Amino acid sequence: MSSLSVEAGRAPESGIIEVVNAGRDHPDLIPLWAGESDQPTPAFICEATKTSLDTGETFYTYQRGLPELREAIAAHYRRTYGVPFEAAQVCVTGSGMQAIQLAIQAVASSGDEIVIPTPAWPNMAAAAELRGVKTVAVPMDIAESGWQLDMAKLEDAITDKTRAIFLNSPCNPTGWVASLDDLKAVLEMARRRKLWIIADEIYGLFHFGGDGVAPSFLQFCDPDDPVLFVNTMSKNWVMTGWRLGWIAGPARLGQVFENLVQYSTSGVPAFTQRGAIAALTEGEDFLSEQVELARKGRALLLDGFAGNNRVQYAAPDGAFYFFFAVEGVTDTRQFALDLLKETGVGLAPGTAFGTGGEGFLRLCFARRHDHLEEAVGRINQFLQRG
């Protein structure tokens, strides 16, 4: 181990995967620990990929992604947010995770800092730290009205080494959704302090706290603003196993992202990109169904825990996670392991989500409703016992 790089040696084991590994073989498992649906990718998407393979699309391809896919992504943004968006602003990546890595590589070097409101999905910080970039947590507050980001605290965390603010809204794990005013304040801060924003709006269509999609930087930023959008095919079109995403931002960065792709994966398979094109161009109805399923899953949980005073939470306004504390439980890692062993319900412990997450557990509700109902019953019973 001592011969490894410091960063690789220090890379943390995912606190979510630790519980997953402990429970994979549980005979009565209801796995709600990961951020994914239990439905397989629909046939119309798979068919497009099969056709591509059958017609021999097995060669190296465009580093920035197939032109048709980049156009389909740009059209998706134009349709969803009613704003101009060009294919030239888009670079296809081998997952949302890779988009995050490229964004970090593009804006920060070893010794630099990135500011991240927490609790947060842990991979962003881990990816930065792997590159020697320090992440500075800005713990969010939970109030009666829900999670809140204090802009003064965010600004206080910025130093002369800060290169970017990572903002994930709707947020995994809290379900917090930044208001348009929050986003405008962050953009104003980024412009004034000469920082990049890495905007993770992958759950933007899963919005339950108001009408329509969640507020987005896209609704008011200029094409040249310092905003990098990282995104994925994983969640909207139930394609988590495909490993496909994109990064979008000022068109002038196109060559930079092309180079970063060339020297990492050298491109994304053309045949999976064909599936993504089908998803983006023919998947509107499917997507609306997914959002409705999640909306009902959320309602089911809120109802199911309504009578349980030990379960404390802010109802999620977006994404598809129920992030809750249990009165009297401080060690949520141990609680997740015990709950799993006793009941077969698999949750992600809040310890995996950084400062401020420790006292919570995360449950994914983009899942079968009978499983959600059963899980709520088992959790309620388990809590009565202890």
Ligand X SMILES: Cc1ncc(COP(=O)(O)O)c(C=O)c1O
* Residue 162 bridge partners (DSSP): 113
Least CB distance to ligand X at residue 295 (A): 18
Element (H, E) at 104: helix 96-107
201-226 burial, b at 16+ Cβ within 10 Å, e below that, comes to bbbbbbbbeeeebbbbbbeebeeebb
Which of residues 96 and 249 has its CB atom nearest to ligand X in the complex?
96
Least CB distance to ligand X at residue 202 (A): 5
Q: Should residue 200 be labelled a site residue for ligand X when binding is judged by CB under 6 A?
A: yes
Q: What dihedral do alpha carbons 107, 108, 112, 113 form, nearest 10°?
A: 70
Q: Should residue 121 be labelled a site residue for ligand X when binding is judged by CB under 6 A?
A: yes
In this structure, which long-range contacts are made by residues 156-160, counting pairs with CB atoms below 8 Å and at least 24 apart in sequence? 157/115, 158/115, 158/189, 158/193, 158/195, 159/113
Contact residue for ligand X among 41, 63, 95, 343 (CB under 6 A): 95
| Total of residues contacting ligand X (CB under 6 A) | 13
Which of residues 167 and 375 has its CB atom nearest to ligand X in the complex?
167
Q: Should residue 119 be labelled a site residue for ligand X when binding is judged by CB under 6 A?
A: no
Q: Should residue 97 be labelled a site residue for ligand X when binding is judged by CB under 6 A?
A: yes
Which of residues 118 and 234 has its CB atom nearest to ligand X in the complex?
234
Q: Should residue 172 be labelled a site residue for ligand X when binding is judged by CB under 6 A?
A: yes
Q: Should residue 290 be labelled a site residue for ligand X when binding is judged by CB under 6 A?
A: no
Q: How far apart are CA 369 and CA 360, in angstroms?
A: 22
Residues of this chain, 202-241, that bind ligand X according to CB under 6 A: 202, 232, 234, 240
Least CB distance to ligand X at residue 233 (A): 7
Q: How far apart are CA 54 and CA 167, in angstroms?
A: 41
Contact residue for ligand X among 15, 31, 35, 215 (CB under 6 A): 35
Which of residues 74 and 167 has its CB atom nearest to ligand X in the complex?
167
Q: Should residue 158 be labelled a site residue for ligand X when binding is judged by CB under 6 A?
A: no
Least CB distance to ligand X at residue 190 (A): 19
The label of the residue with tokens 């990492």 reads 264
Which residue stretch of 95-103, 189-197, 336-344, 353-361 sits at the interface with ligand X (rule: CB under 6 A)?
95-103
Which of residues 92 and 383 has its CB atom nearest to ligand X in the complex?
92
Inter-residue contact 155 to 187 (CB < 8 Å): no
CA nearest neighbour of 102 among 196, 6, 32: 196
Terminal-residue alpha carbon distance, the chain: 41
Contact residue for ligand X among 96, 119, 122, 275 (CB under 6 A): 96
Q: How far apart are CA 36 and CA 348, in angstroms?
A: 13
What's phi and psi for 364, nearest 5 deg? -85, 125
Instruction: By CB under 6 A, name the binding residues for ligand X.
Output: 35, 95-97, 121, 168, 172, 200, 202, 232, 234, 240, 245
